Amino acid sequence: MDIATGAGLLAGLTVVVTIILMGGDLKAFYDTHALIVIGGGCLASTLIRFPFVAIVHGLPLGLKFAFTMRSTTSRDLVDELARLAEVARKQGPVGLEKVDTDDAFLAKGIRYVADGYDMDFIRDNLERDRDNFLMHLDEGQKIYRAIGDCAPAFGMIGTLIGMVQMFSNMSDPSKLGPFMAVALLATLYGALVANLFCLPIADKLHVKLADEETNRTLIIDGILMIRDSKSPTLVREMLLAYLPEKHRHEEGEPVPA
């Protein structure tokens, strides 16, 4: 669970609801027209913009990854892979069968080693999995960004439609106010969808994409070294050298050797 994403969304909603309630009631801020034009417009332009399969995979995958957090850091992964190398060394590949792990991708790699597949097969399959996964996550990121970019435009379209109706139908200028309020809601919805949801989510996915690429490549390299019966010490050392600088040192406080 990525608490920051949830907390941010909750904070955003709380802020919006609070200032609405401070000035009146929530009912004045619900408008079916505005919901339809923002939701429908973004859906329509996304359908045209992206291949259907990318939308189906990317949207939920993006949401899932924006709200969940890898339970293990890169550093933990290195430790776990070294531990697995230890197991594989003592008990042979068969020993890995009883090993339990949270990470589905790592679990698949362990199963391959335990089942005795050769290195090329393991590398090909895991790399294909990683690339498919990263591609879908990247598509998800692009879709959230595209929605964040077009939501304000559809908000403006909704407001324009509302204003045209208001101006063309009004016989009684005193009713201009409530009509105007409804017209502005579409712009408000568009701005909220973009600035409080889609654009921040896209930015977060951008960061997670880089992390996942590091971690999955790390797992592939570790699994292949375990398959190759490398010693746990060598596994740890080589994987640490592979890590980008910022993942290598978690503590930050150097201790004299």
Would you say 124 or 228 has its CB closer to a copy of itself? 124
Spatial contact of 147 and 193, defined as CB atoms under 8 Å apart: yes
The residue within the footprint of a copy of itself, chosen from 87, 156, 238, 243 (CB under 8 A), is: 156
Task: Confirm or reject binding of residue 104 to a copy of itself (CB under 8 A).
Answer: no
- Residues of this chain, 214-253, that bind a copy of itself according to CB under 8 A: 245-246, 248-249, 252
Spatial contact of 112 and 93, defined as CB atoms under 8 Å apart: no
The residue within the footprint of a copy of itself, chosen from 63, 75, 86, 165 (CB under 8 A), is: 165
The residue within the footprint of a copy of itself, chosen from 87, 114, 180, 238 (CB under 8 A), is: 180
- Residues of this chain, 58-87, that bind a copy of itself according to CB under 8 A: 66
Beta carbons within 10 angstroms of residue 196's beta carbon: 18
Q: Which letter, b or e, does each residue of 9-35 get, where b requires 16 or more Cβ atoms within 10 Å of its Cβ?
A: beeeeeeeeeeeeeeeeeeebebebbe
Sequence-separated (6 or more) residues with CB below 8 Å from residue 159: 183, 184, 186, 187
Would you say 115 or 228 has its CB closer to a copy of itself? 115
Q: Which two tokens stand for residue 52?
A: 């259907």
Distance CA 144, CA 198 (A): 5
Of the candidates 85, 86, 75, the one whose C-alpha atom is nearest the C-alpha of residue 240 is: 75
- Residues of this chain, 114-153, that bind a copy of itself according to CB under 8 A: 115, 117, 121, 124-125, 128-129, 131-132, 135, 146, 150, 153
Task: Confirm or reject binding of residue 163 to a copy of itself (CB under 8 A).
Answer: yes
Task: Confirm or reject binding of residue 94 to a copy of itself (CB under 8 A).
Answer: no
Would you say 84 or 183 has its CB closer to a copy of itself? 183
The residue within the footprint of a copy of itself, chosen from 60, 68, 79, 169 (CB under 8 A), is: 169
